[in-house]
Amino acid sequence: MTITSFIPPQRTLMGPGPSDVSARVLSALARPTIGHLDPLFVGMMDEVKSLLQYAFQTKNEFTIALSAPGSAGMEACFVNLITPEDTVVVCKNGVFGARMIENVNRIGAKLVVVEGKWGRAVDPQALEQTLSKHPEAKFVAFVHAETSTGALSDAKLLCEIAQRFQCLTIVDAVTSLGGVELRVDEWGIDAIYSGSQKCLSCVPGISPISFSDKAVEVIKNRTRPVPSWFLDQSLVMAYWSGEGKRAYHHTAPVNSLYALHESLLMLKNEGLENSWQRHQLQHQALAKGLVELGLEFVVPTDERLPQLNTVYIPKGIDDAKVRSYLLNHYNLEIGAGLGEFAGKAWRIGLMGFGAKNENVALCLAALKDALAKA
């Protein structure tokens, strides 16, 4: 077998991530690699920190880009903050809430689950009732934007409730960051993680995270070390603390961080609120077209994520056939159903750079053709 260079096709990515990466971000990726302790690179990392503070709407000193995907960001929040003595309330309304549960179980902490419905937002009343029955609870964890179902939860209200019961909050913002309103400081979020490849439209593999001063206190007051060496944020803090103080921990993904810097700069230039609004407007156009094609949304209107549209697959239509038709004839990727929705729903992403007229038009035309052929 002769192996030659891998040349990927030019796809349009309208699944649950990764999303389309712009030429501008891709060209940042191709710039010369320099040393991760080079003063110029350290300066760029400081800018990434400040751009992330803007994206998260936080002044948290501990705001960094973890050198690993969103799943590692999730794990970093759980293993750093939680010890086996703690009681953690996890609100579960999809696949990613279930992964939070997995994290709590592996740590060996006490788990209380607020069971939610697939395709619905987390029920704030259910959280409130659970917390009043569990005064020992120390943390509340939930997913802001459940990518497995397309449901958006009211993070502001859930945090308010958690605070009333003196709980710290851990929030999954992998799909929400940049796509819908998110205000870490104003809403009082204590630990939050995201991903580079969803509404930031950067290459996969980086997880922005941010901890409030209260969360940092919890980490500093730990009596036993974090069980994961790589994710131990007390060691990583020094790595991100700027020129002169920078100590080697691991080698940062230098070029990927150029790309993240560029994508965050694009978000800053556009303006966060403008980006939220663009996602909403493109979603409305797509939703109108999908309904015209006879497709039915899974999530009720006021709980829908603009950046991830879940629709039921019509009866008698072959899921895999339609998706491979879209891929082969239109170079268009849409997402399959996940978990309970496997084979039952499609997940159509409008994330970051991909939330634009061209993608909405392509998706509607291609789906129309595919459904007529099926």
Ligand X SMILES: *Cc1c(COP(=O)(O)O)cnc(C)c1O
Residue 272 engages ligand X in binding (rule: CB under 6 A): no
Q: What is the DSSP letter of 304?
A: B
Q: Which of residues 114-153 bind ligand X (CB under 6 A)?
A: 143, 147
- Residue whose CB is less far from ligand X, 141 or 237: 141
Contact set for ligand X, span 40-69 (CB under 6 A): 69
- Name which position in 62, 67, 70, 309 contacts ligand X (CB under 6 A): 70
What is residue 363's three-state secondary structure? Answer: helix
Site string for ligand X, 74-113 (x = CB under 6 A): x---------------------x-----------------
CB 266 within 8 A of CB 25: yes
Name the residue nearer to ligand X (CB basis): 63 or 149.
Answer: 149
Give the range of 19-27, 40-48, 170-178, 251-259 binding ligand X by CB under 6 A: 170-178
Residue 178 contacts ligand X per CB under 6 A: no
Residue 17's closest CA among 280, 358, 369, 355? 355
- Residue 267 interacts with ligand X (CB under 6 A)? no
Q: Does 354 bind ligand X (CB under 6 A)?
A: no
Residues 6+ apart with CB under 8 A from 70: 174, 193, 194, 195, 197, 198, 207
Q: Minimum Å distance from CB 24 to ligand X?
A: 21
Q: How far is the CB of 195 from ligand X (least distance, A)?
A: 4
Q: Does 194 bind ligand X (CB under 6 A)?
A: no
DSSP string, 3-71: ---------EEESSSSPPPPHHHHHHHTSPP--TTSHHHHHHHHHHHHHHHHHHT---SEEEEESS-HH
The 8-class DSSP code of residue 336 comes to: P
Can you read off the two tokens belonging to residue 8? 């990927």
Residue 111: which of 142, 88, 129, 91 has the closest Cα? 88
Give CA separation, 177 vs 113, 128, 151, in Å.
Answer: 25, 25, 14
- Does 172 interact with ligand X (rule: CB under 6 A)? yes
CB of 245 to ligand X, least distance (A): 29
Nearest distance from residue 260's CB to ligand X, in Å? Answer: 13
Choose the binding region for ligand X from 42-50, 102-110, 169-177, 343-351 (rule: CB under 6 A). Answer: 169-177
Q: Which is nearer to ligand X, 71 or 331 (CB)?
A: 71
Question: How many positions of this chain bind ligand X (CB under 6 A)?
Answer: 14
Q: At residue 171, what are phi and psi to the nearest 5 degrees?
A: -120, 130
Q: Tokens 């397309």 label which residue?
A: 150
- Classify 260 as helix, strand or coil: helix
Q: Residue with CB nearest ligand X?
A: 70
The DSSP symbol for 303 reads: G
Question: Within 7-26, which residues bind ligand X (CB under 6 A)?
Answer: 17
Question: Closest Cα partner for 234 from 221, 252, 251, 253?
Answer: 221
Q: Is the peptide bond before 314 cis (omega within 30 degrees of 0)?
A: no
Site map 294..333 versus ligand X, x via CB under 6 A: ----------------------------------------
Q: Which of 153, 175, 256, 307 binds ligand X (CB under 6 A)?
A: 175
Q: Which stretch binds ligand X (CB under 6 A): 70-78, 208-216, 263-271, 315-323?
A: 70-78
d(CA 192, CA 185) in angstroms, rounded, equals 11
Q: Are 81 and 109 in contact (CB under 8 A)?
A: no
Least separation in angstroms between CB 197 and ligand X:
6
Binding footprint of ligand X on the chain (CB under 6 A): 17, 69-71, 74, 96, 143, 147, 172, 174-175, 195, 197, 204
